[in-house]
């Protein structure tokens, strides 16, 4: 794994530094042209594109960082919302067990914006597993917008299926959610599962995906404290599931490389933590404290060494 931090002047510098990072540290193919960073971790498979986008809702016109995934006939995107500051940026990535990259941006003190791309560590022999997702949290102190709770279905936390696909309010643009490419012709349905509930405009026969902190599988991580068996804070692997046949029978797809879910009640944002012989860096899903704009004690740990 590799990591790098810097203080960018804008999203353009984030793209340039990310291009250099994935090429020199991870050995991936990448090119930056016209404000669009194209990344190909695996030759002949998915292409990931990063770029600046504008707007998130009618009340917010500031910049976002767009993550886009293209493979075969699938082309979709998910935006890191409200990147209205670039005080500090962290890049984390690796190639084991599958290629992965996390971009974490501190937009103002205590506020972190997250985006992820890569491939799942798949359960079973099925093709692709390419994935993108971001945090879409419809508020920042710079916009003055009303606050949505982090677990509201019109907010989106990493990899969480508890999100409305279409807009119910002015906060969410339709379909601005990540997903997983699932290539298995035997299923007879869409090869793309998005992180969403049914919502507006979502194809009735398309699979849905989930497994993030808002979803039922991971809700036990909300309880603060340490594991009484070891005295350590538990870093739980992020297992993603898909409702393949849209019958509420959730199939485990695989694990997200490089990241763990963690309750951050006993951590400071940005804290380094040693767990199971490895070093991890702790981030909130957006903001640990600050009533009412916060994501509570929901956080991730990213593999550092």
Q: Compute the mean pLDDT over every residue in the chain, rounded to the nearest whole number.
A: 85
CB atoms within 10 A of CB 58: 9
The confidence score (pLDDT) of residue 138 equals 64
Instruction: Give the other-Cβ count within 10 Å of 277's Cβ.
Output: 5
> Which one has a higher pLDDT value, 18 or 264?
18
Give yes or no for residue 169 having a pLDDT over 50: no
Q: What is the pLDDT of residues 252-289, one digit of tens each?
A: 999 999 999 998 888 999 999 998 889 999 999 999 97
pTM: 0.92
Nearest to 79 by CA among 107, 45, 110, 113: 113
Evaluate if residue 190 carries a pLDDT over 50. Answer: yes
Q: Which residues of 76-101 are buried (b: 16+ CB within 10 A; e: fewer)?
A: bbbbbbbbbbbebbbbbbbbeebbbb
What is the rounded distance in angstroms from the CA atom of residue 20 to the CA atom of residue 123? 32
Of the chain, the percentage scoring pLDDT greater than 90 comes to 48
Which tokens is 216 given? Answer: 């039922």
pLDDT in tens, 192-246: 888 887 665 677 777 888 888 777 766 666 555 577 677 788 888 999 998 887 7
How many of the other CB atoms lie within 10 Å of CB of 190? Answer: 15
What's the rounded Cα separation, in Å, for the pair 174 and 195? Answer: 13
Range with lowest mean pLDDT among 32-41, 77-86, 172-181, 220-229? 220-229
Question: Does 186 score more than 60 pLDDT?
Answer: no
pLDDT at 225: 58
Q: What is the pLDDT of residue 272?
A: 95
| pLDDT over 60 (residue 175) | no
Residue-level pLDDT at 171: 44
Nearest by Cα to 162 from 301, 285, 302: 285
pLDDT at 32 (0 to 100): 98
Q: Find the mean pLDDT for residues 60-68.
A: 86
Q: Give the span between the Cα atoms of 266 and 60, in whole angstroms.
A: 33
Of the listed ranges 61-70, 92-101, 143-152, 235-244, the least confidently predicted one is 143-152
Strand pairing class (192-195; 208-210): parallel
CA dist 76 and 85 (Å) reads 25
pLDDT of residue 195: 86
In SS3 terms, 262-304 reads as EECCCCCCCCEEEECCEEEEEEECCCCCCCCCCCCCEEEEEEC
Task: Return the exposure string of 10-29: e unless at least 16 CB atoms fall within 10 Å of the residue's CB, then b.
Answer: ebeebbebbbebbeebbebe
Least confident stretch, 36-40, 54-58, 79-83, 165-169: 165-169
């Amino acid at each position: 794994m590799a990591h790098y931090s810097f203080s960018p002047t804008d999203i353009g510098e984030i793209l340039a530094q990310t291009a250099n990072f994935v090429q020199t540290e991870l050995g991936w193919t990448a090119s930056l042209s016209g404000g669009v960073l194209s990344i190909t971790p695996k030759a002949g498979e998915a292409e990931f594109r990063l770029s600046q986008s504008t707007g998130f809702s009618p009340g917010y016109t500031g910049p976002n960082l767009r993550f886009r995934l293209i493979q075969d006939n699938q082309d979709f995107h998910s935006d890191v919302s409200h990147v209205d500051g670039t005080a500090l940026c962290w890049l984390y990535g690796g190639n084991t067990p599958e290629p992965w990259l996390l971009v974490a941006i501190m937009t103002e003190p205590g506020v972190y914006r997250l985006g992820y791309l890569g491939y799942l560590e798949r359960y079973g022999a099925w093709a692709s597993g390419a994935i993108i997702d971001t945090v879409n949290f419809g508020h920042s102190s710079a916009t003055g917008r009303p606050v949505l709770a982090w677990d509201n279905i019109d907010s989106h936390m990493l990899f969480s299926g508890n999100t409305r696909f279409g807009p119910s309010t002015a906060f969410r643009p339709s379909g601005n959610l990540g997903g997983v490419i699932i290539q298995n012709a035997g299923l007879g349905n869409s090869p793309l599962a998005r992180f969403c509930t049914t919502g507006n405009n979502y194809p009735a026969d398309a699979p849905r995906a989930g497994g993030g902190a808002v979803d039922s599988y991971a809700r036990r991580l909300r309880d603060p404290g340490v594991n009484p068996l070891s005295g350590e804070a538990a870093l739980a692997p992020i297992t993603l599931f898909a409702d393949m046949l849209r019958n509420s029978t959730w199939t485990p797809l695989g694990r997200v490389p490089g990241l763990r879910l963690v309750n951050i009640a006993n951590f400071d944002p940005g804290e380094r933590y040693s767990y199971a012989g490895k070093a991890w860096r702790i981030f909130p899903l957006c903001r640990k404290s600050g009533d009412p704009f916060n994501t509570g004690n929901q956080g991730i740990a990213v593999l550092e060494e």
